[in-house]
A and B are shown apart, each in its own frame.
Chain A
Amino acid sequence: MLTLISVTITQISLGALTVAVALLIAVIKSFFVLRIFMHLKFETRMFSIGVAAVTLLICVVIIITMLDYLFR
């Protein structure tokens, strides 16, 4: 469902936004997988906090690394 949307949307060349949109849809898809398939909706909140924290950690590491590459 969402997959078909993401494929069709990116066939329309949105230029620089294409990556952002594709990733946004990926994030939405993962939200559903996490919440429903992986049961996070029904499990202790600790797991959701953990997933969010780890995701944030990876993003921060990428951002800090890019501080090097963006400004060389």
Chain B
Amino acid sequence: MSPEKTTEEPSYLDYKGKYRGIFSWIFSTDHKRIGLLYLFSILTLFIIGATLGLLMKFELIAPGGTIMDAQSYNAFFTLHGIVMIFAVVIPGLPAVFGNFLLPLMIGAKDVAFPKINLLSWYLYVIGVTLVILSQFAGDGPPDTGWTFYAPYSFRTTNTMLPAVFGAFVLGFSSILTGLNFLVTIHRMRAPGMTWLKMPLFPWSLYATGWVQLLATPIIGITLLMVVAERTLKIGFFDPTLGGDPILYQHLFWTYSHPAVYIMILPAMGAISEMISTFSHKTIFGYRFMVVSILAIAFVGYFVWGHHMFTSGMSGTALYAFSLLTFLVAIPSAIKVFNWISTMHKGSIDLQTPFYWAIAFIFVFMIGGYSGLILGSLAANVHLHNTHFVVAHFHFIVFGGTGFAFFGAAHYWFPKITGKMYDSRWANIGLILFFIGFLALYAPMFYLGFKGMPRRYFDYDEVFHAGNIISTMGSWILYSGLAVIIINLFSSLKGGKKAPSDPWGGKTLEWTVPSPPPVENFTETPVITKGPYDYK
């Protein structure tokens, strides 16, 4: 371990400010503490969502009702979707790792608007509380799916308003986070850090910030319209009053497709950091990576109709959206190529985050290819609303954002906590999780291709074998998750003390102590070199 200059600065964890105990956390405007507040909340919601998934899979282990009836299954997949999408994967990487690392990686003391940062977290907590409460409200939990499609979303007699408002509030939290990061990156980069000297994780947060800012208001207004439809019978989506349910789908997906880029762009940024560090080599094609990040965010705005191919849109719209969908795949492919090229002839250090990164590339590519299949109009007719779609988005979102999240959790664990995690248990957890993941989701491609619909609690006997494998996969995955999470928590107590730079990384966060002091840098760094300067 390298000899450390002991600074008199207390770390952000030991810092004693105006408040004591839990109030020093929930009233803190320190971006590092807020990142951890988010981590705690998001982890809780993730466990809730994962448990819902586990129970859903248990229901599906056999045809017919196993542990629940059809209506309950509808409520389960609705909450699973709302929790996972709005409360876990969309905030996920930006709110946790973005908050913690962004100022550190650009040489700043904090984000541009620390109080608004804390407000974002408060809004997050209010939003998820509303979503959870929706389960216990008067007329039964929401049963529309997380997509709240009209006309059912305003006709169902189940209670919809708390869930809809919850999603609205969570959207507002997301907008404020994006706004904060955009201003931070524009105004607070350290002297000498030009745009093209900024590392790729901040770049990904920048592009994500624009998507959060410019896409989320659309779902805000759409949800308000659903409320108006339910309470005032305003008629926007009600065919009996002249409205068009397909217009709801247009508006919903105009946000929800860019939302998946909110999920994946920071993941890609984090993966870039990990691959560069553990290959001890600068990122191959840095400029192409930057352009690809921006291109994905930009083109991703115009492909939303590929969720609606069978809805009744015009032929012109079908062709336009399919073409644009194929275009948006190109920058993602560029990134994969560049990651592999970064590793080529690098000096690989086989650490847990690196294993997560290569696992990411594997599952992300499967998810991506299956997306191209779904983007083909003729194939989509057959595959829409089958388990093929379920497999696609779990590979690309859970595989993509999820794997990147776990990789990032291990990669930056020493920096955040000042401790090293136990790498043996971390790797065991990863292997269990990976095997479970593949067993859970790969059969769904086959099942969907053979015609098994999604969001049904029952299925034909011919799909039984595939479902058994899938459900058993969920048990293995869940136990892998348990090992990973328990290992990280126990390493908090018993882990070895971490140096500033355990991995030999070159970005700015590795130049400060682990864990960092409250104001991050004792002296504002001055940047003269590129972000991954490995020679």
Contacts and interface: CB of A to CB of B under 8 A. Distances in A.
B68 interface: no
A39 to B, nearest CB: 18
23 contacts: A54-B214, A57-B301, A60-B302, A61-B254, A61-B301, A64-B317, A64-B320, A65-B247, A65-B250, A65-B254, A67-B316, A67-B317, A68-B246, A68-B250, A68-B313, A68-B316, A68-B317, A70-B316, A71-B314, A71-B317, A72-B312, A72-B313, A72-B314
Given A64-B320, A65-B247, A67-B316, 11 more contacts: A57-B214, A57-B301, A64-B302, A64-B305, A67-B314, A67-B317, A68-B305, A68-B313, A68-B316, A72-B313, A72-B314
A60 B301 CA distance: 10
A69 B305 CA distance: 13
Nearest to B250: A65
B3 interface: no
For the residues of A in contact with B, the DSSP-based class is helix
Contacts of B315: 71
Contacts of B214: 54, 57
Interface residues of B, number: 15
Interface of B: 214, 246-247, 250, 254, 301-302, 305, 312-317, 320
A65 B317 CA distance: 8
Contact of B316 (A60, A61, A71): A71
Q: List the 3 shortest-distance A-B pairs measured between CB atoms, nearest first.
A: A71-B314, A68-B317, A71-B316
Nearest to B244: A69
A41 B314 CA distance: 43
B302 A67 contact: no
A33 B246 CA distance: 36
A40 B441 CA distance: 52
Nearest to B316: A71
A60 to B, nearest CB: 7
Interface string A29-62: 0000000000000000000000000100100110
A65 B249 CA distance: 11
A68 B312 CA distance: 9
